Structure 1
Amino acid sequence: MAATALVGRLSLNSPHIPHISQSLPAFIYGTAWKKDATADLVYQALNAGIRAIDTANQPKHYQEQLVGSGIRKALQEGMVKRADIYVQTKFTSVSGQDPDDLPYDPKDPVSKQVHDSVESSLQHLRTSGDRFDDVEGSYIDTVVLHSPMPTIAETMEVWETLERFVPGKIRNLGVSNCNLFTLMDIFERATIKPAVVQNRFYPQTKFDIGLRKFCLEKAIIYQSFWTLTANPKLVWSAEVGVLANQLGISTQAALYCLVFGLGNIVVLNGTKRHERMRADLEAVELVKAFAIRSPEAWERTLQSFKKLLEDPVT
């Protein structure tokens, strides 16, 4: 595994929108369950050097409007430019929402629900202006379907509604909590193909080995979440411990870097600690340098890690 494949910025390219091209950093800051601290934590993440933010228009678990506040503060201070950061949100169906706090009318047709959710996301994540309706020039890098709908017909109704916003207000589309067969079905039917898949990375799905292979074949970036929470055995495995001890990094950061080493993966990182944000980013660079300096040692560690996942050793 070449060091350049370890981590870095993966390209998001849609063959159907050839003029839309961007790159996705190794870490995406996850904003779920941050509540009133959301704006400050997003600002801290950008200050630490993280350049991608994940949220959802799902008040039950996310404060999307506070994500926008944190981004705007960083933009206004000149800390970052909008073109330098990746902002991703989600459309969440009625089944995933708090019935007393939805971003759309649940009695409306699904296409109207999608439209209203995207419009309010554009308002929440606007790049400037104090007015809620000041969305001139605002856009979202990727909108993810939070979970497939109960049927493929309903899923494609949502997808086709989202496609109408591309490329003007949305640059890319994606799907989360999705199995391989549903992903293949969406990919076959969609005009705008999925650019990302965001899934739990855990043993119950055999770490999505088949799905990740499909993603690699179709130039879809795999976004891993629950990477630490769902994998205590991996965090405390000998393979992870050896890498952490060799380079003086945390076991958590070492696991992240070995996951990056599988290829075509970025990771959601939801830490609330500013020093941890910086340390995780520094760990990526340390491991990358190690892979360049000692490619055989890195390869041995990576292959041993793959055996833990029962991933094909290549």
Structure 2
Amino acid sequence: MSNSMVMPKIMYGTAWKKERTTELVVQAFKAGFRGVDTACQPKHYREDLVGKALQTLFAEGVVKREEVYVQTKFTSIDGQDRSQPLPYDPKSSITDQVTQSFQTSLSNLGVEYVDSVILHSPLRTKEQTLAAYRTLESFVEKGQIHHLGVSNIYDPALLIWLIGEARVKVGVVQNRWYEGNGWDWDIYDICQANDIRYQSFWTLTGSPSLLSHPHLIALASKYGLTPEQIVYKLCQVWNITPLCGSSTLAHVNEALAVEGATGLLKDTPEVRQLWDAMHAA
């Protein structure tokens, strides 16, 4: 994260917020969030309403542009709903699709640059994936994007390949981090070895067994936090940036309070016990 602000330790996720997107993003930032995640994918995101929220926050003096980490995504045609207006011409080349999508994102968000743009998932082939990534690299060279990454990549060999092919460093991987994929440790380990920031989604809702695990409950009791707060804190201790998409102000405040919680360290015996249990699951 060298040529722009440091990625916040927790990001506000805007998927499925629909018409409430502006209201909820404004609420999250007034509470203290400084990072927002969206996508140029009308099927699941209202990127335009994220932009409206940002303009409201800037106009009211809540934050300045340089204080906000803005992240969006290029979503290939496989992830789009063709019954809705698309952000690009699906008949055009991958290069043109990415270019059109990014220009749509700049317009939607009302910004001159985006801190991070990630591929919403690998494309159908390696060649298409690399073509999309190369196009995003060209916008990094122009200063319109500061960091690149990829989401929904669960094949370790494919991630290692992309790391090797990239001219602009793969700086972000955003994946489901939940019990259904064993908390994605193989991809996580690659990220740690290559100085890539791992972002998690489905962090809470996807792991009911983790939230009720005896080791985690014991940590919550010891440190005076809720089980949900402990999960977010462990993410931060383990160099994971979780996405929080809560629409409830109380939960937003609880998530933000985690950063100020002290004492829970990576190598304490109780944290190591939980780490080992999650790896053995």
Q: TM-score range by the shorter chain?
A: over 0.9
Partner of 1:290: 263
1:178 to 145, 149, 153: 153
For the residues of structure 2 that align with 1:279 and 1:231, how far apart are their CA atoms?
A: 18
The one-letter code sitting in structure 2 at the alignment partner of 1:120 is T
For the residues of structure 2 that align with 1:284 and 1:140, how far apart are their CA atoms?
A: 25
Q: Which runs of 4+ in 1 moved over 4 A?
A: none
The one-letter code sitting in structure 2 at the alignment partner of 1:98 is D
Please say if residues 232 and 258 of structure 2, whose CA atoms lie closer than 8 Å, have aligned partners that are also in contact. Answer: no
Please say if residues 89 and 140 of structure 1, whose CA atoms lie closer than 8 Å, have aligned partners that are also in contact. Answer: yes
Please say if residues 126 and 139 of structure 1, whose CA atoms lie closer than 8 Å, have aligned partners that are also in contact. Answer: no
The structural deviation recorded for 1:65 is: 0.2
Partner of 1:70: 53
Partner of 1:123: 107
For the residues of structure 2 that align with 1:21 and 1:88, how far apart are their CA atoms?
A: 12
Partner of 2:42: 59
1:22 is paired with a residue whose SS is: coil
For the residues of structure 2 that align with 1:259 and 1:239, how far apart are their CA atoms?
A: 15
Instruction: Name the count of aligned residue pairs.
Output: 277
For the pair 1:25 / 2:22, whether they are aligned, the reply is: no
Partner of 1:109: 93
1:290 is paired with a residue whose SS is: coil
Superposition pairs for residues 149-188 of structure 1, below 5 Å? 149-167=123-141, 168-179=143-154, 180-188=156-164
Of 23-32 and 237-246, the range deviating more from structure 2: 237-246
For the residues of structure 2 that align with 1:192 and 1:64, how far apart are their CA atoms?
A: 25
More relative contact order, 1 or 2 (CA 8 Å, 6+ apart): 1
TM-score (structure 2 length as normaliser): 0.94
Partner of 1:191: 167
The one-letter code sitting in structure 2 at the alignment partner of 1:305 is L
For the residues of structure 1 that align with 2:95 and 2:197, how far apart are their CA atoms?
A: 26
The structural deviation recorded for 1:40 is: 0.7
Partner of 2:254: 279
2:167 is paired with a residue whose SS is: coil
- The unaligned stretches of length 5 or more in structure 2 are none
For the pair 1:35 / 2:18, whether they are aligned, the reply is: yes
The one-letter code sitting in structure 1 at the alignment partner of 2:64 is K
The one-letter code sitting in structure 1 at the alignment partner of 2:174 is Q
For the pair 1:308 / 2:281, whether they are aligned, the reply is: no
Of 191-200 and 239-248, the range deviating more from structure 2: 239-248
TM-score (structure 1 length as normaliser): 0.85
1:6-34 Cα distance to aligned partner (Å, 9 max, x none): xxxxxx13xxxxxx243111111000000
For the residues of structure 2 that align with 1:228 and 1:84, how far apart are their CA atoms?
A: 27
The one-letter code sitting in structure 2 at the alignment partner of 1:147 is S
Identity of aligned residues (%): 40
Please say if residues 258 and 305 of structure 1, whose CA atoms lie closer than 8 Å, have aligned partners that are also in contact. Answer: no
The one-letter code sitting in structure 2 at the alignment partner of 1:253 is Q
Over aligned residues, Cα RMSD in angstroms? 1.5
1:149 is paired with a residue whose SS is: coil
- The unaligned stretches of length 5 or more in structure 1 are 1-11, 14-19, 128-137
Please say if residues 173 and 197 of structure 2, whose CA atoms lie closer than 8 Å, have aligned partners that are also in contact. Answer: yes
1:139 to 113, 117, 125: 113
Please say if residues 88 and 141 of structure 1, whose CA atoms lie closer than 8 Å, have aligned partners that are also in contact. Answer: yes
The structural deviation recorded for 1:108 is: 1.2
